[in-house]
Amino acid sequence: MLDIGKVDYNEVFVRYDIVSESKDNPETIAAKMLPKDPLLKKVAEDVLYMKWKDVEASVKGALAKYKPEDVIEKGLVKGMDVVGDLYGKGIYYLPHVMLAAKSMETGVKEAEKKMTSAMVTKGTVVMHVAEGDPHDIGKNIAAVLLRSSGYGIVDMGRDVPVDDVVDKVVDTKPTLVTGTALMTTTMSAFPRIAERLLEKGVELPFICAGGAVNRAFVESFPLGVYAEKAIQGPTLAGKVVEGWDYKKLRNKWDDLAKGKM
């Protein structure tokens, strides 16, 4: 029989998440990852601490000093990076992530108001999030930046079937097509899209992005050009308008990414 007098309750009633909480918590991780500038830090904190009612005001505050693109990339996205880290460590749960995403979307909408929407249409971009994938925050940011740089956007939304993307590209004949995948289970849609486009005789750069993919994966199938950050969208699109094909974009990728061109 179990001798309860000898049981070490510290060994029995230890929740795994309490153990991780004791090593790290939102504040210690935030101290390492958040921007130092107080205005951008407040923006990032409103995402991190899910303050969707405050984020509009803090974005407005940061816009007084920074460009909307910087408020998004150096404030809102940094806050979401910390959320991702906390979720990965089991400190944040799905409801935290959903509320942080709500704050992020509110903040992006506020920053977008400050962007000049170019009247000239330089070209059309078909954008989508991979089949089975609900993560559309990065795609939405990239759409805002491309739109404000003068591109007409055909936004197909998230969880878009492979065939729908191919049909849309065939119908609209855009300047380029983009895909975002944040899940390892969804990224395989990209080579299938590229293959079907080529079968239909359509050759155009296919910009692929999102945490699930990297440059090596994207360059392993034809048409694929990797993008790491939303801010690279207008640069890559600009080169396509100049006549660059996907092979030239890949060859010059390092210079493009470093902002040398």
Question: How many angstroms separate the CA atoms of 173 and 204, rounded?
Answer: 9
The kind and range of the H/E element at 123 are strand 123-129
> Smallest distance from the beta carbon of 2 to ligand B12, in angstroms?
36
Output the residue with the shortest Cβ distance to ligand B12.
138
Total number of residues that touch ligand B12 (CB under 6 A): 35
Is position 48 an interface residue for ligand B12 (rule: CB under 6 A)? Answer: no
Residue 44, interface with ligand B12 (CB under 6 A)?
no
Task: Name, in order, each residue with C-beta under 8 angstroms of 243's C-beta and a sequence gap of 6 or more.
Answer: none
Residue 56: Cβ within 10 Å count: 16
Separation CA 16–CA 30 (nearest Å):
21
Q: Is 232 in the site for ligand B12 (CB under 6 A)?
A: yes
Q: According to the binding rule CB under 6 A, does residue 183 interact with ligand B12?
A: yes
| Identified binder of ligand B12 from the candidate list 141, 162, 165, 189, rule CB under 6 A | 141
What is 157-183 written as a DSSP string? -SSB-HHHHHHHHHHH--SEEEEE--S
Q: Of 67, 69, 141, whose CA–CA distance to 104 is shortest?
A: 141
152: left (phi over 0), alpha (psi -120 to 50) or beta: beta
Task: Give the residue with the Cβ less far from ligand B12, 50 or 141.
Answer: 141
Report, in Å, the least distance between residue 5 CB and ligand B12.
41
Query: Does residue 207 belong to the site contacting ligand B12 (CB under 6 A)?
Result: yes
Distance CA 130, CA 109 (A): 23
Lookup: tokens for 56: 């509009």
Task: Candidates 59, 91, 130, 142: give the one binding ligand B12 (CB under 6 A).
Answer: 142
Choose one: 15-23, 53-61, 138-146, 162-170; the region binding ligand B12 (CB under 6 A): 138-146
Question: Per CB under 6 A, does 94 bind ligand B12?
Answer: yes
Torsions phi, psi of 208, nearest 5?
Answer: -115, 135
CA 213 to chain centre: 11
- The stretch near ligand B12 (CB under 6 A) out of 8-16, 110-118, 183-191, 247-255 is 183-191
Residue 97 in contact with ligand B12, rule: CB under 6 A? yes
Shortest Cβ distance from residue 182 to ligand B12 (Å)? 4
The minimum distance between CB 218 and ligand B12, in angstroms, equals 11
For helices 137-148 and 232-241, give the axis angle rounded to 10 degrees. 50
- Residue 211 interacts with ligand B12 (CB under 6 A): yes or no: yes
Longest dimension (CA), the chain: 82
Tell whether residue 84 is a contact of ligand B12 (CB under 6 A).
Answer: yes
- Note the residues at the interface with ligand B12 (CB under 6 A): 73, 77, 80, 83-84, 87-88, 94, 97-98, 101, 134-139, 141-142, 178, 180, 182-185, 207, 209-212, 227, 229-230, 232-233
